[in-house]
Chain A
Amino acid sequence: MTSRTGRVQIDLISFNLGGYPVALPASQSLGLAKRSTKALTEAQAHRAWLLQLLHYQEETSPQTRQILMLQGTDGPVPLEIDNQPLLESVAPEHLRPLPKIMAQVSSFKAARGFWLTEQGLRLLLDPTQFPTLADTKRASSSKSHTNVLE
């Protein structure tokens, strides 16, 4: 996308997962979905998978969450998110890739880089790297051996 000033920009959708700030290209978002039973089950499974990776303990208090439909490799991927997603055009100079060593060794292949915002960093996600629902269920039954902030 090109802004009115002629600068190349990219539209990003930003939202939080358990308070953790993430974003992804708007082209990979299909918009918000209604909370049907099937969509909710898958959306919550993907949320649980991501929260497990983030070592975030899910709150039990009810929240007004949304289901965001993402463009996965094999079709739409529902994801339950904390809040209303925001759309923003971002200049390339505010985007950074993962440090090379992290890109090489991270087991979380859906992490692509960072968006430098005034509030801090946001992790850029690639929903085509999200696992299938079956994978998320399998992952939730096994314990992670990656980084834990103790």
Chain B
Amino acid sequence: MSELDQLLEADDWQDQRILDVDEPAQSLVIFRLGEQILALPGDQVREILPLAEIFFVPGCPADMPGVINLRGDILAIIELGRLLSLETDTDTWTNILITKGSAMLCGFLVDEVLDLTEVPASQLKPPLATLPAQLAPWVTAELAWAEKIALCLDAKALLHDYRNRLKG
């Protein structure tokens, strides 16, 4: 193979690499709840807010401490950690993720939003069978992120089940 052929082949390889990058990608909002790193698909997160004043509403379930006023819209706030039965503190929240699912717009209380990223779909791996039982129904994939494993949640399924459980 001539030197020219080799250079041309290398160029083909670069084209191939570009094609690889074009594979389907998933946008994710990566956040922390206690020690657990979690992620939500970007299309399920409408907005990320700093912790706002939560107006307590009596008579609601323990994981629904109240509402916030988001530019005139009143949204129910949900303690995601309690919903997922994670051991987390209640005074370490710094963000609210505005999420839509199961025909309801609500805010999830989370400790800290760590990253907004877009990853190739191939980097999302099926969740391990050793996943904690309380998380398993809602985890759709795992992602290696910053030398840790982020568990990707399905907010729609989570809220659908939550809604049914509350009504039930």
Contacts and interface: CB of A to CB of B under 8 A. Distances in A.
A123 interface: yes
B56 to A, nearest CB: 6
A134 interface: no
Given A105-B166, A107-B60, A146-B60, 13 more contacts: A96-B72, A97-B74, A98-B57, A99-B74, A101-B64, A102-B60, A102-B67, A105-B61, A113-B74, A116-B72, A121-B69, A146-B62, A147-B59
A147 B62 contact: yes
A120 B57 contact: no
Interface of B: 53, 55-67, 69, 72-76, 90, 104, 106, 163, 166-167
B167 A114 contact: no
A150 B53 CA distance: 15
A33 interface: no
B76 to A, nearest CB: 4
B106 A101 contact: yes
Label chain A's interface by main secondary structure.
mixed
Interface string A120-138: 1101000000000000000
Interface of A: 20, 50, 53-55, 96-102, 104-109, 111, 113-114, 116, 120-121, 123, 145-150
Given A99-B106, A104-B167, A114 B58 contact: no
A99 B58 contact: no
Contacts of B56: 20, 54-55, 147, 149
Nearest to A123: B57
Contacts of B61: 105, 146-147
A101 B59 contact: no
A99 B75 contact: yes
B104 A53 contact: no
